Amino acid sequence: MIDKSKLKLGLDINKIHHIISRKVDAAVISSIDNNLTVPQAYVIDFIYMEGKEKDIFQKDLEKEFDLKRSSVSLMLNNMEKSGLIQRVPVAEDARLKKIILTEKAIMLNKNISNAINSIENKLSENITLEEINVFYKVLDKIRNNLG
């Protein structure tokens, strides 16, 4: 039996976070060219996946990646200069600009997605769907405990 007073959940979660980050980053780095950063690769993958269902705006990236507006703005500027994205005004509000991937980014995303999926598949090896559901319930409780 585990002694609850000796638990270090935060430390253990942080350790596994670093292990996963290193593995995913290494897989993504090996799948992309040198002109692309790992965070940009994650953004491309997010826009590619989520952009199928809805328009993606800067605020969506800020929320998804838990980044400040200025950080996302700088990244998007660099991605636009590199020909990876375009920011297109929407009809309802010209101030709003949806972010769309260029053909260059779409081509890169095939490798990015394969790299991320390979690590995701490795993470869930030997884990049942029931165990994954319990894991997500526990994660939600932890998230709610932190407010």
pLDDT tens, per residue, the chain with 147 residues = 777 777 899 999 999 999 998 998 888 888 876 678 889 999 999 999 999 999 999 999 999 999 999 999 999 999 999 999 999 998 888 789 999 999 999 999 999 999 989 998 999 999 999 999 999 999 999 989 998
pLDDT of residue 138: 96
pLDDT of residue 17: 92
Q: How far apart are CA 28 and CA 50, in angstroms?
A: 19
CATH architecture of the region 7-119? Orthogonal Bundle (1.10)
Q: How far apart are CA 42 and CA 114, in angstroms?
A: 12
Local structure of 98: helix, strand or coil: strand
Phi-psi region of 70 (alpha: psi -120 to 50; beta: other; left: phi over 0): alpha
In this prediction the pTM is 0.77
Burial group, residue 43, by CB count within 10 angstroms (0-12, 13-18, 19+): buried
Other CB atoms within 10 Å distance of the CB of residue 67: 17
Q: Where are the domains of the chain?
A: 7-119
